[in-house]
A = this chain, B = another copy of it.
Amino acid sequence: MREGLILKISCPDKPGLVARIASHASEFSANLVEFNQFIDQGCRRFYARLEIDTGSLEIPIEDFIASFEVLGRSIKADWHFRRLPYKMRTAVLVTKTDHCLNEILWRTGLGEMPIEITSVIGNRRDCREIAENANLPFHLVEMKEDKEAGFRRIEGLLDEQDVQLVVLARFMQIMPEWLCQKYAGRMINIHHSFLPAFIGANPYRQAYERGVKLIGATCHYVTGELDAGPIIEQEVERVQHHHSVQDLVRLGRDCERSALAKGIRYHVHDRTIIDGRRAIVFPD
Q: Is A241 an interface residue (CB 8 A)?
A: yes
User: CA of A250 to CA of B25 in the docked complex: distance in angstroms?
Assistant: 30
Q: How far is the CA of A277 from the CA of B242 in the complex (A)?
A: 14
- State whether A18 and B22 are in contact (beta carbons under 8 Å apart), knowing that A194-B197, A209-B277 are contacts in the complex: yes
A71 within 8 Å of B (CB atoms): no
| A68 lies within 8 A of chain B by Cβ | no
Per the bound structure, the CA–CA distance linking A64 and B142 in Å amounts to 52
CB within 8 Å for A106 and B102 given contacts A15-B29, A133-B133, A210-B231: yes
Contact B15 A20 (CB under 8 A): no
A281 touches B240 (CB 8 A): yes
Pair A31/B19 contact, Cβ less than 8 Å: no
Contact in complex: B112, A280 (CB < 8 Å): no
Residues of B within 8 A of A198 (CB): 196
**Shortest Cβ distance from A97 into B: residue:** B110
Are A195 and B216 within 8 A (Cβ)?
Answer: no
Contact with B along A180-223 (1 / 0, CB 8 A): 00000000000000111110000000000111111010000000
A84 at the binding interface (Cβ < 8 Å): no
A30 interface residue (CB < 8 Å to B): yes
In the complex, A244 has a CB within 8 A of chain B: yes
Residues A236 and B236 in contact, CB atoms below 8 Å apart: yes
Tell me the dominant secondary structure on chain A's binding face. mixed
A210 vs B22: C-alpha distance when bound (angstroms): 32
Whether A254 contacts B250 by the Cβ 8 Å rule is no
Q: Does A86 contact B (CB under 8 A)?
A: no
Q: Does A23 contact B (CB under 8 A)?
A: yes
Residues in B with CB closer than 8 Å to A25 are 19
Contact A195 B196 (CB under 8 A): no
Return chain B residues, CB-CB under 8 Å to A37.
32, 34-35
Interface residue A74 (Cβ < 8 Å from any Cβ of B):
no
Partner of A241 from B23, B30, B209, B275 at Cβ < 8 Å: B275
A230: which B residues are within 8 A, CB to CB? 211
> Which 5 residue pairs are nearest across A and B when measured between Cβ atoms?
A211-B278, A16-B26, A19-B22, A19-B26, A197-B197
Given contacts A38-B242, A210-B277, A211-B230, 5 further A-B contacts (CB under 8 A): A102-B106, A196-B197, A209-B278, A213-B232, A236-B236
